[in-house]
A = this chain, B = another copy of it.
Amino acid sequence: MADVITPRSVDYAQWYVDVVRAAKLADYSPVRGCMIILPNGYALWENMRAVLDRMFKETGHENAYFPLFIPQSFLAKEAEHVEGFAKECAVVTHSRLKIDEKGQLIPDPESKLEENLIVRPTSETIIWDAFSRWIQSWRDLPILINQWANVVRWEMRTRLFLRTMEFLWQEGHTAHATREEAIEEALRILDIYTTFAEEYMAMPVIQGVKTPSERFAGAVDTYCIEALMQDGRALQAGTSHFLGQNFAKAFDCKFQNQNNELEYVWATSWGVSTRLIGALVMTHSDDQGLVLPPRLAPTQVVIIPIFRNDVEKSAVLEQAGRIERELKDAGFTVKLDARETHRPGWKFNEYEVQGVPVRVAIGPRDVEQGTVELARRDTRTKETVPQEGLAERVRTLLDDIQQNLLARARAFRDEMTTRVDTYEEFKEVLEEKGGFILAHWDGTPETEARIKEETRATIRCIPLDRDAEALGTREEGRDMLTGKPSKQRVVFAKAY
Protein backbone atom coordinates (compact mmCIF):
# COMPACT_ATOMS: atom_id res chain seq x y z
CA MET A 1 0.00 0.00 0.00
CA ALA A 2 0.91 3.62 -0.50
CA ASP A 3 3.01 4.88 2.36
CA VAL A 4 4.14 8.23 1.00
CA ILE A 5 1.50 10.85 1.63
CA THR A 6 1.24 13.65 -0.92
CA PRO A 7 1.13 17.02 0.93
CA ARG A 8 -2.23 18.77 0.91
CA SER A 9 -0.67 21.84 -0.65
CA VAL A 10 0.50 19.82 -3.64
CA ASP A 11 -2.66 17.85 -4.46
CA TYR A 12 -5.52 17.73 -2.00
CA ALA A 13 -7.41 14.96 -3.78
CA GLN A 14 -4.32 12.77 -3.91
CA TRP A 15 -3.52 13.57 -0.27
CA TYR A 16 -6.98 12.28 0.66
CA VAL A 17 -6.52 9.00 -1.17
CA ASP A 18 -3.01 8.61 0.24
CA VAL A 19 -4.22 9.09 3.81
CA VAL A 20 -7.12 6.66 3.39
CA ARG A 21 -4.79 4.02 2.00
CA ALA A 22 -1.77 4.64 4.26
CA ALA A 23 -3.99 4.52 7.35
CA LYS A 24 -5.41 1.26 5.95
CA LEU A 25 -8.99 2.48 6.04
CA ALA A 26 -9.98 1.20 2.61
CA ASP A 27 -8.66 -0.39 -0.56
CA TYR A 28 -9.85 -0.46 -4.15
CA SER A 29 -11.69 -3.52 -5.41
CA PRO A 30 -11.92 -5.10 -8.86
CA VAL A 31 -15.57 -4.06 -9.04
CA ARG A 32 -15.48 -0.54 -10.40
CA GLY A 33 -16.77 1.92 -7.83
CA CYS A 34 -16.92 -0.60 -4.97
CA MET A 35 -14.33 -0.40 -2.23
CA ILE A 36 -13.05 -2.80 0.40
CA ILE A 37 -13.42 -1.36 3.90
CA LEU A 38 -10.30 -2.55 5.74
CA PRO A 39 -10.24 -3.44 9.45
CA ASN A 40 -9.09 0.07 10.50
CA GLY A 41 -11.88 1.69 8.52
CA TYR A 42 -14.47 -0.82 9.64
CA ALA A 43 -13.52 -0.41 13.32
CA LEU A 44 -14.13 3.31 12.91
CA TRP A 45 -17.53 2.59 11.34
CA GLU A 46 -18.37 0.21 14.20
CA ASN A 47 -17.65 2.98 16.71
CA MET A 48 -19.75 5.47 14.77
CA ARG A 49 -22.54 2.94 14.47
CA ALA A 50 -22.49 2.15 18.19
CA VAL A 51 -22.91 5.82 19.16
CA LEU A 52 -25.65 6.53 16.62
CA ASP A 53 -27.45 3.28 17.37
CA ARG A 54 -27.57 4.15 21.06
CA MET A 55 -28.94 7.62 20.28
CA PHE A 56 -31.62 6.18 17.98
CA LYS A 57 -32.68 3.61 20.56
CA GLU A 58 -32.77 6.19 23.34
CA THR A 59 -35.29 8.14 21.27
CA GLY A 60 -37.54 5.11 20.81
CA HIS A 61 -36.38 3.71 17.46
CA GLU A 62 -36.11 -0.01 16.81
CA ASN A 63 -33.88 -1.76 14.30
CA ALA A 64 -35.31 -4.03 11.63
CA TYR A 65 -34.19 -5.40 8.28
CA PHE A 66 -35.95 -5.16 4.91
CA PRO A 67 -35.09 -6.96 1.65
CA LEU A 68 -32.11 -5.94 -0.48
CA PHE A 69 -34.21 -6.28 -3.63
CA ILE A 70 -37.01 -3.97 -4.66
CA PRO A 71 -39.48 -4.96 -7.39
CA GLN A 72 -38.96 -2.64 -10.36
CA SER A 73 -42.62 -1.62 -10.28
CA PHE A 74 -42.30 -0.33 -6.70
CA LEU A 75 -39.76 2.25 -7.73
CA ALA A 76 -42.20 3.63 -10.28
CA LYS A 77 -44.96 4.27 -7.74
CA GLU A 78 -43.62 7.61 -6.51
CA ALA A 79 -43.00 9.79 -9.54
CA GLU A 80 -40.17 11.95 -8.26
CA HIS A 81 -38.55 9.01 -6.55
CA VAL A 82 -38.21 6.97 -9.74
CA GLU A 83 -36.95 10.04 -11.59
CA GLY A 84 -34.28 10.47 -8.93
CA PHE A 85 -33.09 6.89 -8.81
CA ALA A 86 -33.87 5.21 -12.15
CA LYS A 87 -30.61 6.41 -13.65
CA GLU A 88 -28.39 4.78 -11.08
CA CYS A 89 -29.90 1.35 -10.44
CA ALA A 90 -28.30 -2.04 -10.40
CA VAL A 91 -30.89 -4.24 -12.13
CA VAL A 92 -31.14 -7.97 -11.44
CA THR A 93 -32.64 -9.72 -14.47
CA HIS A 94 -31.69 -13.40 -14.08
CA SER A 95 -31.49 -15.95 -11.28
CA ARG A 96 -29.04 -18.49 -12.69
CA LEU A 97 -25.83 -18.82 -14.65
CA LYS A 98 -25.16 -21.62 -17.10
CA ILE A 99 -22.41 -22.76 -19.41
CA ASP A 100 -23.32 -22.09 -23.03
CA GLU A 101 -22.28 -24.10 -26.12
CA LYS A 102 -18.99 -22.21 -26.35
CA GLY A 103 -18.17 -23.10 -22.77
CA GLN A 104 -18.85 -19.56 -21.56
CA LEU A 105 -20.65 -18.72 -18.35
CA ILE A 106 -23.80 -16.76 -19.19
CA PRO A 107 -27.06 -15.83 -17.45
CA ASP A 108 -29.41 -18.73 -18.15
CA PRO A 109 -32.04 -17.27 -20.53
CA GLU A 110 -34.62 -19.56 -18.96
CA SER A 111 -34.03 -17.91 -15.60
CA LYS A 112 -35.06 -14.47 -16.83
CA LEU A 113 -37.17 -12.89 -14.11
CA GLU A 114 -40.82 -12.05 -14.71
CA GLU A 115 -40.23 -8.78 -12.91
CA ASN A 116 -36.78 -7.28 -12.64
CA LEU A 117 -35.44 -6.55 -9.18
CA ILE A 118 -33.57 -3.38 -8.24
CA VAL A 119 -30.78 -3.51 -5.67
CA ARG A 120 -32.06 -0.97 -3.13
CA PRO A 121 -30.68 2.54 -3.61
CA THR A 122 -32.77 3.44 -0.51
CA SER A 123 -35.73 1.61 1.01
CA GLU A 124 -38.71 3.97 1.12
CA THR A 125 -40.70 1.93 -1.39
CA ILE A 126 -40.25 -1.53 0.10
CA ILE A 127 -40.84 -0.17 3.60
CA TRP A 128 -43.97 1.82 2.73
CA ASP A 129 -45.36 -1.26 1.05
CA ALA A 130 -44.95 -3.02 4.41
CA PHE A 131 -46.30 -0.05 6.39
CA SER A 132 -49.42 -0.10 4.22
CA ARG A 133 -50.05 -3.65 5.46
CA TRP A 134 -49.11 -2.92 9.08
CA ILE A 135 -50.98 0.33 9.69
CA GLN A 136 -54.73 0.47 10.08
CA SER A 137 -55.42 2.74 13.02
CA TRP A 138 -53.90 5.68 14.88
CA ARG A 139 -53.14 3.06 17.56
CA ASP A 140 -50.54 1.54 15.18
CA LEU A 141 -48.67 4.87 15.05
CA PRO A 142 -46.01 6.05 15.29
CA ILE A 143 -43.75 3.40 13.78
CA LEU A 144 -40.10 4.28 14.37
CA ILE A 145 -37.83 1.96 12.42
CA ASN A 146 -34.13 2.09 11.62
CA GLN A 147 -32.12 -0.21 9.39
CA TRP A 148 -28.34 -0.68 9.11
CA ALA A 149 -27.72 -1.84 5.58
CA ASN A 150 -25.82 -1.64 2.34
CA VAL A 151 -27.25 0.26 -0.61
CA VAL A 152 -26.20 0.63 -4.23
CA ARG A 153 -26.30 3.71 -6.44
CA TRP A 154 -24.57 3.38 -9.75
CA GLU A 155 -22.01 6.17 -9.88
CA MET A 156 -19.72 6.99 -12.72
CA ARG A 157 -17.05 8.91 -10.84
CA THR A 158 -16.31 7.41 -7.45
CA ARG A 159 -13.96 8.24 -4.56
CA LEU A 160 -13.14 6.08 -1.54
CA PHE A 161 -15.85 6.60 1.12
CA LEU A 162 -17.08 9.90 -0.38
CA ARG A 163 -18.84 8.45 -3.37
CA THR A 164 -18.96 4.72 -3.91
CA MET A 165 -21.35 2.53 -5.84
CA GLU A 166 -22.11 0.45 -2.76
CA PHE A 167 -22.01 2.04 0.67
CA LEU A 168 -23.03 1.18 4.20
CA TRP A 169 -25.50 3.38 6.00
CA GLN A 170 -28.40 3.57 8.36
CA GLU A 171 -31.78 4.57 7.04
CA GLY A 172 -34.55 5.55 9.42
CA HIS A 173 -38.16 5.30 8.28
CA THR A 174 -40.97 6.55 10.44
CA ALA A 175 -44.76 6.79 10.13
CA HIS A 176 -46.85 9.32 12.02
CA ALA A 177 -50.45 10.38 12.55
CA THR A 178 -49.82 14.08 12.02
CA ARG A 179 -47.79 16.40 9.89
CA GLU A 180 -46.45 18.19 12.99
CA GLU A 181 -45.26 14.99 14.61
CA ALA A 182 -43.44 13.92 11.44
CA ILE A 183 -41.68 17.28 11.11
CA GLU A 184 -40.72 17.11 14.79
CA GLU A 185 -39.25 13.65 14.18
CA ALA A 186 -37.24 14.84 11.17
CA LEU A 187 -35.83 17.71 13.21
CA ARG A 188 -35.16 15.49 16.26
CA ILE A 189 -33.00 13.29 14.05
CA LEU A 190 -31.25 16.32 12.58
CA ASP A 191 -30.32 17.26 16.15
CA ILE A 192 -29.01 13.74 16.77
CA TYR A 193 -26.88 13.98 13.63
CA THR A 194 -25.64 17.39 14.73
CA THR A 195 -24.71 16.15 18.19
CA PHE A 196 -22.94 13.19 16.66
CA ALA A 197 -21.02 15.33 14.14
CA GLU A 198 -19.95 17.96 16.65
CA GLU A 199 -19.48 16.03 19.89
CA TYR A 200 -18.11 12.77 18.50
CA MET A 201 -16.62 13.57 15.11
CA ALA A 202 -15.50 17.03 16.34
CA MET A 203 -16.83 18.35 13.04
CA PRO A 204 -18.88 21.56 13.19
CA VAL A 205 -21.91 21.61 10.94
CA ILE A 206 -24.56 24.02 9.71
CA GLN A 207 -28.13 22.79 10.22
CA GLY A 208 -30.27 23.80 7.32
CA VAL A 209 -33.01 22.97 4.90
CA LYS A 210 -32.39 22.21 1.24
CA THR A 211 -33.80 24.26 -1.60
CA PRO A 212 -36.44 22.41 -3.67
CA SER A 213 -33.91 21.55 -6.40
CA GLU A 214 -31.57 19.86 -3.92
CA ARG A 215 -34.26 17.87 -2.12
CA PHE A 216 -34.34 14.11 -1.82
CA ALA A 217 -36.42 12.57 -4.60
CA GLY A 218 -39.87 12.26 -3.05
CA ALA A 219 -39.40 14.57 -0.04
CA VAL A 220 -41.44 17.63 0.90
CA ASP A 221 -38.47 19.03 2.80
CA THR A 222 -34.92 17.81 3.17
CA TYR A 223 -33.10 18.93 6.30
CA CYS A 224 -29.36 18.50 6.33
CA ILE A 225 -26.13 19.12 8.10
CA GLU A 226 -23.32 20.61 6.04
CA ALA A 227 -19.66 20.47 7.00
CA LEU A 228 -16.66 22.23 5.53
CA MET A 229 -13.61 20.29 4.42
CA GLN A 230 -10.04 21.57 4.64
CA ASP A 231 -9.92 22.44 0.94
CA GLY A 232 -12.86 24.79 1.35
CA ARG A 233 -15.46 22.51 -0.19
CA ALA A 234 -18.69 21.61 1.55
CA LEU A 235 -19.78 18.08 2.36
CA GLN A 236 -23.35 17.05 3.12
CA ALA A 237 -22.90 14.90 6.20
CA GLY A 238 -26.44 13.76 6.87
CA THR A 239 -30.00 14.30 5.68
CA SER A 240 -33.37 13.98 7.35
CA HIS A 241 -36.44 14.15 5.13
CA PHE A 242 -39.98 15.17 5.87
CA LEU A 243 -41.78 13.10 3.23
CA GLY A 244 -45.25 14.46 3.82
CA GLN A 245 -47.83 11.94 2.57
CA ASN A 246 -46.04 11.23 -0.72
CA PHE A 247 -45.09 7.64 -0.02
CA ALA A 248 -48.32 6.93 1.87
CA LYS A 249 -50.21 8.01 -1.25
CA ALA A 250 -47.95 6.01 -3.56
CA PHE A 251 -48.53 2.85 -1.46
CA ASP A 252 -52.10 3.65 -0.40
CA CYS A 253 -51.24 3.72 3.27
CA LYS A 254 -54.15 5.16 5.23
CA PHE A 255 -55.08 5.02 8.89
CA GLN A 256 -58.24 5.62 10.86
CA ASN A 257 -57.69 8.69 12.99
CA GLN A 258 -59.23 9.36 16.40
CA ASN A 259 -62.29 10.86 14.71
CA ASN A 260 -62.78 7.64 12.72
CA GLU A 261 -61.72 9.34 9.48
CA LEU A 262 -59.35 7.73 6.99
CA GLU A 263 -56.16 9.76 6.46
CA TYR A 264 -52.89 9.19 4.68
CA VAL A 265 -49.96 8.52 7.01
CA TRP A 266 -47.17 11.11 7.44
CA ALA A 267 -43.58 10.05 6.91
CA THR A 268 -39.92 10.78 7.49
CA SER A 269 -36.72 9.12 6.38
CA TRP A 270 -33.14 9.94 7.31
CA GLY A 271 -29.66 8.59 6.87
CA VAL A 272 -25.95 8.87 7.35
CA SER A 273 -23.41 6.65 5.66
CA THR A 274 -19.80 5.53 5.49
CA ARG A 275 -19.31 8.83 3.69
CA LEU A 276 -18.85 10.22 7.23
CA ILE A 277 -15.51 8.42 7.35
CA GLY A 278 -14.38 10.50 4.38
CA ALA A 279 -15.66 13.64 6.11
CA LEU A 280 -13.75 12.73 9.24
CA VAL A 281 -10.53 12.25 7.29
CA MET A 282 -10.91 15.55 5.47
CA THR A 283 -11.81 17.52 8.59
CA HIS A 284 -8.88 16.67 10.86
CA SER A 285 -6.08 14.83 9.10
CA ASP A 286 -2.75 16.35 8.12
CA ASP A 287 0.26 15.70 5.90
CA GLN A 288 1.47 13.04 8.35
CA GLY A 289 -1.72 11.02 7.99
CA LEU A 290 -4.94 10.38 9.82
CA VAL A 291 -6.01 12.39 12.86
CA LEU A 292 -8.87 10.84 14.84
CA PRO A 293 -11.06 12.33 17.57
CA PRO A 294 -10.56 10.27 20.76
CA ARG A 295 -14.27 9.53 21.16
CA LEU A 296 -14.31 7.56 17.89
CA ALA A 297 -10.73 6.28 17.65
CA PRO A 298 -10.60 2.44 17.63
CA THR A 299 -7.32 2.70 19.58
CA GLN A 300 -7.05 5.73 21.86
CA VAL A 301 -3.62 5.09 23.31
CA VAL A 302 -0.67 3.18 21.89
CA ILE A 303 2.21 2.20 24.16
CA ILE A 304 5.61 1.75 22.58
CA PRO A 305 8.42 0.23 24.65
CA ILE A 306 12.01 1.14 23.78
CA PHE A 307 15.01 -1.05 24.70
CA ARG A 308 18.35 -2.18 23.29
CA ASN A 309 19.14 -5.30 25.28
CA ASP A 310 17.52 -8.00 27.37
CA VAL A 311 18.12 -6.27 30.67
CA GLU A 312 16.45 -3.09 29.44
CA LYS A 313 13.74 -5.11 27.75
CA SER A 314 12.66 -6.89 30.87
CA ALA A 315 12.49 -3.69 32.94
CA VAL A 316 10.74 -1.67 30.21
CA LEU A 317 8.19 -4.36 29.33
CA GLU A 318 7.32 -4.88 32.96
CA GLN A 319 6.46 -1.21 33.40
CA ALA A 320 4.81 -0.96 29.97
CA GLY A 321 2.57 -3.90 30.87
CA ARG A 322 1.61 -2.30 34.14
CA ILE A 323 0.77 0.98 32.38
CA GLU A 324 -1.31 -0.91 29.81
CA ARG A 325 -3.37 -2.50 32.58
CA GLU A 326 -3.82 0.79 34.38
CA LEU A 327 -5.01 2.56 31.26
CA LYS A 328 -7.33 -0.29 30.29
CA ASP A 329 -8.76 -0.34 33.79
CA ALA A 330 -9.41 3.38 33.45
CA GLY A 331 -11.59 2.56 30.42
CA PHE A 332 -9.39 3.53 27.48
CA THR A 333 -8.79 1.38 24.43
CA VAL A 334 -5.10 0.68 24.58
CA LYS A 335 -2.63 -1.18 22.41
CA LEU A 336 0.80 -2.17 23.63
CA ASP A 337 3.01 -2.80 20.61
CA ALA A 338 5.92 -4.84 21.93
CA ARG A 339 6.82 -6.44 18.60
CA GLU A 340 10.55 -6.82 18.12
CA THR A 341 10.21 -7.19 14.37
CA HIS A 342 9.69 -3.44 14.06
CA ARG A 343 11.79 -0.57 15.42
CA PRO A 344 10.30 2.11 17.70
CA GLY A 345 10.76 4.78 15.03
CA TRP A 346 8.81 2.73 12.53
CA LYS A 347 6.03 2.28 15.09
CA PHE A 348 5.95 5.99 15.93
CA ASN A 349 5.36 6.69 12.27
CA GLU A 350 2.85 3.88 11.80
CA TYR A 351 0.55 4.99 14.61
CA GLU A 352 0.90 8.60 13.59
CA VAL A 353 -0.26 7.68 10.08
CA GLN A 354 -3.13 5.68 11.61
CA GLY A 355 -4.20 8.64 13.75
CA VAL A 356 -3.96 7.13 17.24
CA PRO A 357 -4.65 10.17 19.48
CA VAL A 358 -2.13 9.50 22.26
CA ARG A 359 1.24 7.75 22.23
CA VAL A 360 3.02 6.63 25.37
CA ALA A 361 6.70 5.77 24.88
CA ILE A 362 8.76 4.22 27.65
CA GLY A 363 12.51 3.58 27.57
CA PRO A 364 15.26 2.64 30.07
CA ARG A 365 15.65 6.21 31.28
CA ASP A 366 11.93 6.47 31.92
CA VAL A 367 12.13 3.28 33.94
CA GLU A 368 14.85 4.80 36.11
CA GLN A 369 13.05 8.09 36.55
CA GLY A 370 9.48 6.77 36.79
CA THR A 371 8.40 8.74 33.71
CA VAL A 372 7.01 8.20 30.23
CA GLU A 373 6.98 10.28 27.08
CA LEU A 374 3.44 11.36 26.26
CA ALA A 375 2.74 12.54 22.70
CA ARG A 376 -0.49 13.88 21.24
CA ARG A 377 -1.36 13.30 17.61
CA ASP A 378 -3.34 16.48 16.96
CA THR A 379 -0.57 19.00 17.72
CA ARG A 380 2.31 16.52 17.38
CA THR A 381 3.79 17.77 20.66
CA LYS A 382 5.21 15.64 23.44
CA GLU A 383 6.32 15.94 27.03
CA THR A 384 7.90 13.76 29.66
CA VAL A 385 5.55 13.12 32.55
CA PRO A 386 5.55 11.01 35.73
CA GLN A 387 4.03 7.51 35.55
CA GLU A 388 2.27 8.43 38.77
CA GLY A 389 -1.22 9.65 37.89
CA LEU A 390 -0.85 8.76 34.21
CA ALA A 391 -4.43 7.54 33.75
CA GLU A 392 -5.84 10.86 34.92
CA ARG A 393 -3.41 12.75 32.74
CA VAL A 394 -4.38 10.65 29.71
CA ARG A 395 -8.05 11.29 30.42
CA THR A 396 -7.45 15.03 30.48
CA LEU A 397 -5.33 14.81 27.37
CA LEU A 398 -7.94 12.84 25.40
CA ASP A 399 -10.62 15.34 26.43
CA ASP A 400 -8.35 18.15 25.43
CA ILE A 401 -7.64 16.60 22.02
CA GLN A 402 -11.35 16.07 21.43
CA GLN A 403 -12.08 19.71 22.26
CA ASN A 404 -9.09 21.03 20.38
CA LEU A 405 -10.08 19.22 17.19
CA LEU A 406 -13.56 20.71 17.33
CA ALA A 407 -12.25 24.19 18.17
CA ARG A 408 -9.67 24.03 15.40
CA ALA A 409 -12.22 22.86 12.84
CA ARG A 410 -14.67 25.49 14.01
CA ALA A 411 -12.08 28.27 13.75
CA PHE A 412 -11.22 27.11 10.23
CA ARG A 413 -14.87 26.89 9.25
CA ASP A 414 -15.58 30.36 10.67
CA GLU A 415 -12.62 31.86 8.89
CA MET A 416 -13.75 30.19 5.68
CA THR A 417 -17.28 31.57 5.94
CA THR A 418 -17.67 34.81 4.02
CA ARG A 419 -20.55 37.25 3.63
CA VAL A 420 -20.72 38.67 0.12
CA ASP A 421 -23.14 41.09 -1.46
CA THR A 422 -22.22 41.20 -5.12
CA TYR A 423 -21.95 38.46 -7.69
CA GLU A 424 -18.47 39.64 -8.64
CA GLU A 425 -17.30 39.32 -5.05
CA PHE A 426 -19.05 35.96 -4.88
CA LYS A 427 -17.12 34.56 -7.82
CA GLU A 428 -13.88 36.00 -6.50
CA VAL A 429 -14.29 34.49 -3.05
CA LEU A 430 -15.40 31.20 -4.54
CA GLU A 431 -12.32 30.95 -6.72
CA GLU A 432 -9.67 32.44 -4.47
CA LYS A 433 -10.76 31.40 -1.00
CA GLY A 434 -13.54 28.85 -1.25
CA GLY A 435 -15.54 27.89 1.81
CA PHE A 436 -19.10 28.77 2.77
CA ILE A 437 -20.43 31.95 1.21
CA LEU A 438 -23.43 33.67 2.81
CA ALA A 439 -25.27 35.55 0.12
CA HIS A 440 -28.75 36.75 -0.72
CA TRP A 441 -30.85 34.70 -3.12
CA ASP A 442 -34.19 35.62 -4.62
CA GLY A 443 -35.66 32.18 -3.92
CA THR A 444 -36.15 31.12 -7.55
CA PRO A 445 -34.83 27.87 -9.02
CA GLU A 446 -33.81 29.83 -12.13
CA THR A 447 -31.33 31.99 -10.29
CA GLU A 448 -30.05 29.00 -8.35
CA ALA A 449 -29.52 27.05 -11.58
CA ARG A 450 -27.77 29.94 -13.28
CA ILE A 451 -25.36 30.42 -10.42
CA LYS A 452 -24.65 26.69 -10.37
CA GLU A 453 -24.04 26.63 -14.09
CA GLU A 454 -21.80 29.67 -14.09
CA THR A 455 -19.78 28.95 -10.96
CA ARG A 456 -20.41 25.28 -10.01
CA ALA A 457 -21.42 26.51 -6.56
CA THR A 458 -24.68 25.19 -5.13
CA ILE A 459 -26.93 26.35 -2.34
CA ARG A 460 -25.92 23.99 0.43
CA CYS A 461 -28.81 25.00 2.64
CA ILE A 462 -30.96 27.67 4.15
CA PRO A 463 -29.81 27.76 7.78
CA LEU A 464 -32.31 26.73 10.46
CA ASP A 465 -32.73 28.62 13.75
CA ARG A 466 -29.52 27.72 15.52
CA ASP A 467 -27.20 28.56 12.66
CA ALA A 468 -29.30 31.34 11.22
CA GLU A 469 -28.70 33.12 14.51
CA ALA A 470 -25.06 32.17 14.75
CA LEU A 471 -24.40 33.23 11.17
CA GLY A 472 -26.75 36.21 11.15
CA THR A 473 -28.42 35.12 7.93
CA ARG A 474 -31.93 36.31 8.73
CA GLU A 475 -31.80 39.78 7.29
CA GLU A 476 -33.48 41.26 4.26
CA GLY A 477 -31.46 42.11 1.20
CA ARG A 478 -31.28 41.79 -2.56
CA ASP A 479 -30.26 38.80 -4.66
CA MET A 480 -26.64 39.28 -5.64
CA LEU A 481 -27.38 38.28 -9.23
CA THR A 482 -30.89 39.53 -10.03
CA GLY A 483 -31.26 42.32 -7.45
CA LYS A 484 -34.67 40.93 -6.52
CA PRO A 485 -35.66 41.06 -2.86
CA SER A 486 -34.43 38.33 -0.54
CA LYS A 487 -35.54 37.55 3.01
CA GLN A 488 -32.37 35.88 4.17
CA ARG A 489 -28.89 34.87 3.21
CA VAL A 490 -28.34 31.25 2.19
CA VAL A 491 -25.20 29.13 2.24
CA PHE A 492 -23.39 28.67 -1.06
CA ALA A 493 -20.36 26.47 -1.65
CA LYS A 494 -18.73 24.10 -4.04
CA ALA A 495 -19.46 20.67 -2.66
CA TYR A 496 -18.31 17.06 -2.63
Q: Chain A: residues with CB nearer than 8 A to chain B?
A: 27, 29-31, 34-39, 42-43, 45-46, 62-76, 82, 86-98, 105, 107, 116-119, 126, 129-130, 139, 145, 149-150, 152, 154, 166, 168, 341
Contact = CB atoms under 8 A, between A and B. Distances in A.
Contacts of A91: 92-97, 107
Copies in the complex: 2
29 contacts: A27-B130, A29-B130, A31-B67, A34-B67, A34-B69, A36-B65, A36-B66, A38-B64, A39-B62, A42-B62, A42-B65, A43-B63, A68-B119, A68-B150, A69-B152, A69-B166, A86-B96, A86-B105, A87-B96, A87-B97, A90-B92, A91-B92, A91-B95, A91-B96, A93-B93, A93-B94, A95-B154, A96-B154, A139-B341
Contacts of A168: 65
A63 B90 contact: no
Contacts of A89: 94-97
A95 B107 CA distance: 16
Nearest to A76: B105
Contacts of A46: 63
B96 A30 contact: no
Contacts of A90: 69, 92, 94-95, 117
A73 B31 CA distance: 11
B30 A71 contact: yes
A292 B36 CA distance: 37
A27 B43 CA distance: 32
Given A39-B63, A68-B119, A107-B116, 18 more contacts: A29-B67, A30-B74, A31-B69, A34-B67, A37-B64, A67-B166, A68-B166, A75-B97, A89-B94, A90-B92, A90-B94, A90-B95, A91-B97, A92-B119, A97-B118, A139-B341, A149-B150, A150-B150
Contacts of A38: 64
Nearest to A129: B30
Contacts of A35: 67
Nearest to A164: B67
Q: Which of A82, A88, A93, A145 has the most CB of B within 10 A?
A: A93
A73 B130 contact: no
A29 B94 contact: no
Nearest to A156: B95
A150 B68 CA distance: 8
B31 A117 contact: yes
A33 to B, nearest CB: 9
Contacts of A139: 341
A35 B150 CA distance: 16
Contact of A86 (B36, B74, B97): B97
A90 B91 CA distance: 10
A98 B478 CA distance: 41
A96 B71 CA distance: 14
Nearest to A114: B32
A91 to B, nearest CB: 4
A92 B95 contact: no
Instruction: Kindly list the 6 A-B residue pairs having the minimum CB-CB distance in the complex, ordered from nearest.
Output: A34-B67, A39-B62, A37-B65, A86-B97, A91-B94, A95-B154
A420 to B, nearest CB: 39
A72 B97 CA distance: 9
A375 to B, nearest CB: 25
